[in-house]
Structure 1
Amino acid sequence: MRAALSPVPVRVRVHDAEPFPLTTQTTISGEAAAAGTLRSLLQARTGRQPALVASGAIRLHIEGGGTPESYRLVVGSAGISVIGHDAAGLFYGVQTLGQLVESAPGGWRVPAVEIDDFPRFAYRGVMLDVARHFFDVQTVTAVIDRAASLKLNHLHLHLTDDQGWRLAVESWPKLTEQGSASAVRGDRGGYYSKEDYRRIVEYAAERHMTVVPEIDMPGHTHAIGLAYPELVQDPALSPGMAAEIAQGRQPSPRKGVGYQGTAVGFSSLRIHDPRTYEFLHAVLAEVAEGTPGPFLHIGGDEALSTDAGDFAAFMQRASAIASSHGKVVVAWHEAGAVPGLVAGAVGQYWGSVNPADGADRKALAFVERGGRVILSPSDAIYLDMKYDADTPIGLDWANGPTSVRRSYEWEPSDVIRGLPEEAILGVEAPLWTETVSSLADIDHMMFPRVASAAEAAWSPATIENEWRTWGSFRQRIAGLGPLWKSMGIGFFRSPEVPWADSDRASAPPAGL
């Protein structure tokens, strides 16, 4: 069989038996939402939609009693059964079934297999930065579809930064009226109305994804000052940023003027002004109200122009405010240095696979206060890193370009010494958008490396499964190329991967 499966299932048993033939008479029965998902997937893959009937050859059902998000898939020559522990598990079983579809002389088929599968980590995420460059609702929903197909279940939206504020807040309307127009390079800005955000949240939920909104503070806040200048300090340049400005590599930030560069660390909220905390209460209340998921991200990274003591005082108050609105607080790992951070907060680690500068200790501090850690090692699964020196977009600050192989060859349990498996909430692959401005750019940078992150998040540890090797992974995603192409994903055809040619032409015109 063409073992083009990613993420790797927990158990796969291939049978020496006749495959299931997909024909124009193939039918689907069972749970309606999953059946609709499978119909769309098969239409994209094969060009035809099977009929929905009361008792079909492909049967989709939910049965309790298993691990959350788990499923069992059985394929025989006479039929296919997908059983999910819950709706999410059934959805993921359908995604695996879509990966198994292969062309054969005379038509399409699914090989005879049994698969039992469940996730390693509860949190499996991808982040989209919509602040450096803004992306409309249609683009965000396309990213949701792509991520969900790989069993990722959280979409972290980086909604605010120096370049723009992207979410409407009724109580502070100037945030979008005046703070949303700018973007990197002077490109088009924009923002999500409350209705836009609701559409994104609901679309994600239909695909078993939870939206995690981020309001980044106290740095990365220049755009707030475009709307409410009394809330922010004047820009403060580090020596390194001043040098970049002098050499013409970055524009100089000016208070009240939209920032179009990519430098970080020059902005800060006014830490000791009571009005700042009125702002936080109102904004976080509205964001929390519009977000049914449990998490609210409050940033906390790269606050280079905020005094260390002020940073600690601010993050303590900000985390308490976010928590008061009924949310689990998430913050970048720098906030782990704050002794008074609200108990139970989740730390997002963005240091390297080999921690430096105490980043690992800051991440562990979240666990010591009853929280857990999301792993986002920048030199492995930051999707905005170049593949190699010749990649036309992307950055290379995270220990140089990140090849597909490097994105795969890391193990979550090995990153932070002393971090127990149960303290790892999950894995998230961020896509920052300093150089990314279209869905085509997103596809190019996400695929195939997002599959590396999905496998680290879902599949067994590298020492527990014989398929969890680079040699296996490159072969498996090579076979996914035709599926990704049929889904409209403009993936990067990395020379590290022996890509399969499209197999659509091998199917007969009338075949399913």
Structure 2
Amino acid sequence: MKNVSTLITCFSLLLFMGCKEKRVATPMDLAKENLIPKPVGMVATGSSFLLSSESVIYTDQEFRAQAQTLAAELKEITGINIGIAENEDESKSEGIILSKKTTNDDLKEEGYELNIEEDVMTISSNHPSGIFNAIQTIKQLLPTTIDSNKIEIASGKIIDYPNYEYRGAMLDVSRHFFSVDDVKQYIDYLAMFKMNVLHLHLSDDQGWRIEIKSWPKLAEIGGKTEVGGTEGGYYTQEDYKEIVQYAADRFITIIPEIDMPGHTNAALASYPELNCDGKSPEPYTGMKVGFSSFCVDKEITYKFIDDVVRELAAISPGKYFHIGGDESHATKKADYVIFVDKVQDIVSKHGKTMVGWDEVVTANIKSSSIAQFWASEDNAKTAVEKNVKLIMSPAKKAYLDMKYDSITKLGLKWAGYVEVDTGYDWNPAAYVEGITKENILGIEAPLWTETVTNMNELQFLVFPRLPGYAEIGWTQDSLRSWGEYKTRLASFKNRFEKMNINYYKSSKVDW
């Protein structure tokens, strides 16, 4: 009778209480997971969390968009549908909990805590951007091959926050034009590795890529060409807004660049009044630099710039506006100083902070402006003397368009070869004597596109170097070493291939 009673009791529990058997968790070691960028702190507890169709994401209203992002990402990667429910008391015994309760002041906005237990995964952050960054980590903790509707994730705790506030990449869409969908794909690559800035190089000698409604010929004429004489293109302002919003949804800021007073042939070909002789030059499709200049003595030049900055600033929510300023060899030095000073004021008038390549420090720039170091160490030191913050983009280390080696077909080599280890193994705060971390806003990896015509070629130059630049920007200097990093990078081989990324199989990495 006792056995019958036990069976009846269990049957009753199955019917009315679910009475499910306690899962025996698979032992897993979080410390052996290969994450890029490397987190600040990671402690393994030797067990695992189960993700299944029964899992639920609990959130409040502030993090609802991130809960939806997490559910969508998990669905895409694993095929598992995850439910979303209101998180009223944060005392759930199982599921994924998005929480604003944090214990670390260092997290600020972008940092997060990830506490993975057998039944509960808790993602904590002060801000939605921190939750988003945690989601990128969770995606990397998932297996690359999914063959079950139940996925186990190694248990433990991760505490993570960035080393620099500015962690960016630049895409030159002027030398060769890239579509809205291409730019969105590039944004996705940046988001994967917790980068938060995309600098778009929107104008150059070879092409003007953004609609300016008060100066329509910029797009109509200046947008037609690109390097090599193939058809160019441009973004309407609606296209640009779409890119900006797509980036913002991933906590990435778009920084627009209108390069001036040099690199301006496409604008000069569109409007002859911007030339000192009042004549339009022929459209340019070559690769030479330093031959063009706005006429800095004409008032119409500054009316033009004011209109361009006004229209573009109005649809660029970020605080920065990049004016270029590099390689202005056709502009007299005295004229260059006057020009930069005036443009700086125009940018400020429209509510933005001016950013320029390191040459702009030779003008009378304000300490609130930003200089982007790419070539001249003397200019970088001058920036520090003027109390101007630096974005570190040394061409010899950070230019994604540099060839990997002498037999690389794509890319350029004027700054030298940048193999994967060369691109990773440097410290922005120790690269130039006298420049320390307190002088640096962050790091940016530019991709100039003289030799890059499509996404397949872009991927080849960007990967596998981009994750390394992301780690330089995110991970604490003391936690980085090439010997350890290259092992983690090698583990991304399957991810790159699953994503159909045409990556360079560097001999420096044991793929």
Which band: TM-score by shorter chain? 0.7 to 0.9
| Superposed CA offset, 1:250-286 (max 9, x none) | xxxx953221111110111111111111111111111
Q: Does the alignment pair 1:347 with 2:371?
A: yes
Shift in Å, 1:49: 3.7
- Residues in 2 aligned to 1:439 and 1:459: alpha-carbon distance in whole angstroms: 28
- Residues in 1 aligned to 2:205 and 2:321: alpha-carbon distance in whole angstroms: 19
Q: Does the alignment pair 1:154 with 2:192?
A: no
Contact 2:170 2:447 in 1 (8 A): yes
Shift in Å, 1:488: 4.4
Contact 2:270 2:280 in 1 (8 A): no
- Residues in 1 aligned to 2:358 and 2:43: alpha-carbon distance in whole angstroms: 41
Alignment of 1:93-108 (within 5 A): 93-102=134-143, 108=151
**TM-score, length-scaled by structure 2:** 0.87
- Residues in 1 aligned to 2:228 and 2:122: alpha-carbon distance in whole angstroms: 51
Among residues 449, 452, 456, which one is paired with 2:465 in the alignment? 449
- Residues in 2 aligned to 1:50 and 1:306: alpha-carbon distance in whole angstroms: 59
Contact 1:322 1:329 in 2 (8 A): yes
- Residues in 2 aligned to 1:168 and 1:315: alpha-carbon distance in whole angstroms: 23
Contact 1:26 1:51 in 2 (8 A): yes
- Residues in 2 aligned to 1:85 and 1:491: alpha-carbon distance in whole angstroms: 35
Alignment of 1:128-143 (within 5 A): 128-143=171-186
2:489 equivalent in structure 1: 477
Contact 1:382 1:430 in 2 (8 A): yes
Contact 2:430 2:436 in 1 (8 A): no
- Residues in 2 aligned to 1:434 and 1:73: alpha-carbon distance in whole angstroms: 42
Q: Which runs of 5+ in 2 are unaligned?
A: 1-28, 87-91
SS of equivalent residue, structure 2 residue 297: coil
Letter in 1 for 2:371: G
1:337 equivalent in structure 2: 362
Among residues 234, 245, 253, which one is paired with 1:191 in the alignment? 234
| Superposed CA offset, 1:372-429 (max 9, x none) | 0000011112111112222221111112x21111111101111122223122000001
Letter in 2 for 1:429: A
Greater mean alpha carbon deviation, residues 102-111 or residues 219-228: 102-111
- Residues in 2 aligned to 1:104 and 1:47: alpha-carbon distance in whole angstroms: 9
1:33 equivalent in structure 2: 65
Q: Does the alignment pair 1:127 with 2:149?
A: no
Contact 1:62 1:90 in 2 (8 A): no
Shift in Å, 1:233: 5.2
SS of equivalent residue, structure 1 residue 426: strand
Q: Does the alignment pair 1:71 with 2:112?
A: yes
Among residues 368, 375, 380, which one is paired with 1:363 in the alignment? 380
Q: Does the alignment pair 1:209 with 2:252?
A: yes
Letter in 2 for 1:264: V
Among residues 334, 337, 354, which one is paired with 1:312 in the alignment? 337
Distance change (3 Å), C-alpha of 1:324 and 1:364: farther
Q: Which runs of 5+ in 1 are unaligned?
A: 236-253, 352-358, 500-512
Shift in Å, 1:39: 2.8
| Superposed CA offset, 1:68-124 (max 9, x none) | 211000112222111112111110011011111126997632111211011111111
Shift in Å, 1:496: 2.2
Greater mean alpha carbon deviation, residues 144-153 or residues 310-319: 310-319
Distance change (3 Å), C-alpha of 1:375 and 1:201: same
Letter in 2 for 1:80: M
Contact 1:348 1:373 in 2 (8 A): yes
Greater mean alpha carbon deviation, residues 438-447 or residues 101-110: 101-110
Q: Does the alignment pair 1:90 with 2:131?
A: yes
Contact 2:174 2:206 in 1 (8 A): yes
- Residues in 1 aligned to 2:407 and 2:152: alpha-carbon distance in whole angstroms: 39
- Residues in 1 aligned to 2:474 and 2:464: alpha-carbon distance in whole angstroms: 16
Greater mean alpha carbon deviation, residues 141-150 or residues 48-57: 48-57
How big is the alpha-carbon RMSD for the aligned residues of Structure 1 and Structure 2? 2.0
Q: Does the alignment pair 1:4 with 2:34?
A: yes
2:43 equivalent in structure 1: 13
2:426 equivalent in structure 1: 410
**TM-score, length-scaled by structure 1:** 0.87
Shift in Å, 1:62: 3.1
Among residues 481, 488, 492, which one is paired with 2:504 in the alignment? 492
1:222 equivalent in structure 2: 265
Contact 1:38 1:98 in 2 (8 A): no
Contact 1:345 1:366 in 2 (8 A): no
Contact 1:217 1:299 in 2 (8 A): yes
1:506 equivalent in structure 2: none
2:22 equivalent in structure 1: none
Among residues 375, 380, 384, which one is paired with 2:397 in the alignment? 380
Shift in Å, 1:63: 3.8
Q: Does the alignment pair 1:436 with 2:452?
A: yes
Letter in 2 for 1:232: N
Greater mean alpha carbon deviation, residues 200-209 or residues 388-397: 388-397
| Superposed CA offset, 1:271-322 (max 9, x none) | 1111111111111111111111000000000111111111111111111211
Q: Determine which structure has greater relative contact order: mean sequence separation of CA pairs < 8 Å that are 6+ residues apart, divided by chain length.
A: 1
Shift in Å, 1:37: 2.3
Contact 1:99 1:480 in 2 (8 A): no
1:42 equivalent in structure 2: 74
Contact 1:232 1:267 in 2 (8 A): no
- Residues in 2 aligned to 1:460 and 1:226: alpha-carbon distance in whole angstroms: 47
Greater mean alpha carbon deviation, residues 384-393 or residues 198-207: 384-393
Name which one, 1 or 2, has greater alpha-carbon Rg.
2
SS of equivalent residue, structure 1 residue 19: strand
Contact 1:137 1:196 in 2 (8 A): yes
Q: Percent identity?
A: 39
| Equivalent residues, number | 467
Distance change (3 Å), C-alpha of 1:489 and 1:53: farther
Q: Does the alignment pair 1:62 with 2:103?
A: no
2:20 equivalent in structure 1: none
